[in-house]
Structure 1
């Protein structure tokens, strides 16, 4: 679909599917890929080391031995809005809305970066030796050290929740810069856990920039940069290994005859980008990944489609949804981002199959239908994933992609990534149902 036509449809709030002309079925072997691959393997090993600390610090994870993950749930056949019929494959939800402690996908990256910073400080100050158990991070000496440092982040809500909760658990001073899109209940929950919330009248990009500038003025401040952080990115990427293990446990194959199609809600791009990178590392060329963004805030689409039109590398941090005449106003607060991460877009340029958009009305409708038919509670941002199969199966662009990639739908597995929602207060969820 031509970029000019994309823009016209989005300005009219008409959902679109854009397939990536640069998509390549085999991953590249450049230096950036090699670096991220190495960091991903380090992150997998570090999570295993951290399990003893996590189990000790969070009693609710005793039953999982400190393993942080969320279930992979098969959807029942009667869930009709997805077109979940046997001839189009099987449908599963990666239920990150049930992720322990922080209740969203953001915990995968946010927890990891905070714990990585804590480990680094502890080693610098001699509180961790080479063979020390991770439980040393919870010692009185470690908490006294961490209390001298401040961890900041800019967020519309869920990343702030993850960073704030883990920072507070370790003893850090935590500060979350929140944009106008952030919901009041998320601010209140953070404050209840001792996290300082700094409110900004501007959008997500302005909140991030304000937090970044403030951290630069304090030598004991550490800023988690959602737009540029490799630590966040590789923290998210470890989700792919968890999915691989769960697919194997459910005897679900991924190969040329059994393709994997994944639909992930997308804001600035860090979480979906990290997940996509990990999945491509493990399953390419048999995995096809689509990001789903709001019609008013398709920042990754704006970056990649504009770059494709100009036949250039991704435009880094330059292309904004405002440049397309869109207002960045959406009920999906976690996805209300005007400018995508240039770092993520550069990594995704050949790995991403495409980008889909969803209207607020569609997201709320699918949220209600999912709850009515399965009892699963998610937030509108997460509901964006539920539109993925419909866009792929019921559009000319989607059918063309399926034919071009020789995808056998009858033996396909579709994974819909529900990124958040279990912590939503009952009165807020009831308002969505109404």
Structure 2
């Protein structure tokens, strides 16, 4: 089993990240719905990271990662590659740390995410998702410009920072039985698993991947990272082809159950959040809820946490999602 190049984050790192983020990240609300509770015969608690700064949980990890950089490196600037949420998070975090950011984004990224990333002050370089390797391009640009790379998931500080969302949830709602978390690169799932340990909770964690991807479940089943090239799903923030090595190792050691949700299931979840809870979520933001709704896990009588991971979606696209 190959080991990740970086040290694995620990539950203590999540607690330390929470201290770094105090007064910087929003303490996002936890919302309820009597309708969904009645439908499931359970108590569901929605952690609204769509209301986090930059519109997703990604701000937590990005800020923590930049806080750990040496002052000299921050002075040179940083680079990140992302389809949008991590891009915006690094752009804002860089601004708050008074450093410049170069963001590598696919040219077919959400127009709203592209505009927001530039709006936070970052320079954006686009690439063709199916023709260019974003990591190779990012490595070349970082070398040429002497920039520090802030990866989406493969970094202990990123994972620990992401875990603070669930640490907060467990403080706001003690004694959860189940927790559903979306899975793309695995940083949020890995951080959530560490947060559960940091909070000394007995909560069982379920990762939910897009059905079209399937890389997380296949990786855990095989014991090694499996890559799914260009998975086609409306969950653009979870189109990551593989789990990040550091995140994978944390997840592999914890062995959570991985569920899948189809695009139609995500749309159903998206519509419920909009119509009944007045919450705007992007498809990936509704992924964990779609997994909970799928019926794969019996929720009856349970206290269930759901992470709404993000709300960054083009309004024209969102209108089609909720009206179809």
TM-score normalised over the length of structure 2 = 0.88
- Distance in 1 between residues matched to 2:140 and 2:27, nearest whole Å: 33
For 2:30 and 2:132, how far apart are their aligned partners in 1? 32
Matches within 5 A, 1:68-107: 68-76=26-34, 78-79=35-36, 83-85=39-41, 89-100=42-53, 102-107=54-59
Match of residue 111, structure 1, among 32, 39, 63: 63
2:259 matched residue in structure 1: 356
Paired position in structure 2 for 1:214? 141
- 8 A Cα contact 2:220 2:255, kept in partner: no
Matches within 5 A, 1:145-294: 148-180=75-107, 182-202=109-129, 206-219=133-146, 221-247=147-173, 253-254=174-175, 259-284=176-201, 286-294=202-210
State which of 405, 414, 427 in structure 1 corresponds to 2:304.
414
Look up the match of 2:321. Answer: 432
Given the superposition, is the C-alpha separation of residues 37 and 369 from structure 1 closer, same or farther in structure 2, using an over 3 Å criterion? Answer: closer
Indicate the SS of the match to 1:175. Answer: strand
Give the C-alpha shift of residue 115 in structure 1.
2.9
Task: Provide Cα deviations, 1:186-219, integer angstroms capped at 9, x if missing partner.
Answer: 1122223321111111259932332133213443
For the Cα contact (< 8 Å) 1:260–1:413, is it kept in 2? yes
Per the TM alignment, residue 180 of structure 1 is displaced from its structure 2 partner at its CA by: 4.9
Q: Distance in 2 between matches of 1:370 and 1:433?
A: 10
Distance in 1, matches of 2:203 and 2:36, equals: 23
Aligned residues, how many?
317
Shift of 1:268: 0.7
Which of residues 275, 280, 284 in structure 2 aligns to 1:372? 275
CA distance change for structure 1 residues 47 and 382 in 2, over 3 Å: closer, same or farther?
A: closer
* Aligned equivalent of 2:3: none
Distance 1:370 1:205, change over 3 A: farther
2:40 aligns to what SS in structure 1?
coil
1:387 Cα deviation (Å)? 1.9
Are residues 1:40 and 2:14 paired? Answer: yes
Q: What CA deviation, in whole Å up to 9, does each residue of 1:14-38 have, x standing for no partner?
A: xxxxxxxxxxxxxxxxxx67x6234
**Structure 2: how far apart are the matches of 1:212 and 1:291?**
30
Q: In the alignment, is the contact (CA less than 8 A) between 1:290 and 1:352 conserved in 2?
A: no
Shift of 1:420: 0.7
Secondary structure of the residue aligned to 1:45 is helix
Gaps of 5+ in 2: 1-6
Superposed displacement of residue 114, structure 1: 2.0
Q: Is the 8 A contact 1:204 1:338 kept in 2?
A: no
Cα displacement (A) at 1:260 = 1.8
> Take 1:280 and 1:208, find their aligned partners in 2: how far apart are those partners?
32
- Whether the aligned pair in 1 keeps the contact of 2:268 and 2:290 (CA below 8 Å) is no
User: Counterpart of 2:180 in 1: which secondary structure?
Assistant: strand
Higher-Rg structure is: 1
Instruction: Tell me how far apart the structure 1 counterparts of residues 52 and 291 of structure 2 sit (CA, whole Å).
Output: 21
Pick aligned residue for 2:227 from 320, 339, 342: 320
Query: Cα distance 1:420–1:227, how it changes in 2: closer, same or farther (>3 A)?
Result: closer
CA RMSD of aligned residues (A): 2.5
> What residue in structure 2 maps to residue 250 of structure 1?
none
Are 1:334 and 1:381, in contact at CA under 8 Å, matched by a contact in 2?
A: yes
Report if the CA contact (8 A) 1:180-1:200 is conserved.
yes
Q: Normalising by the residue count of structure 1, what TM-score does the alignment of the two structures yield?
A: 0.67
> Given the alignment, which residue of 246, 270, 288 partners 1:385?
288
Query: Could you tell me how far apart the structure 2 residues matched to 1:91 and 1:180 are?
Result: 37
* Partner SS state of residue 242, structure 2: coil
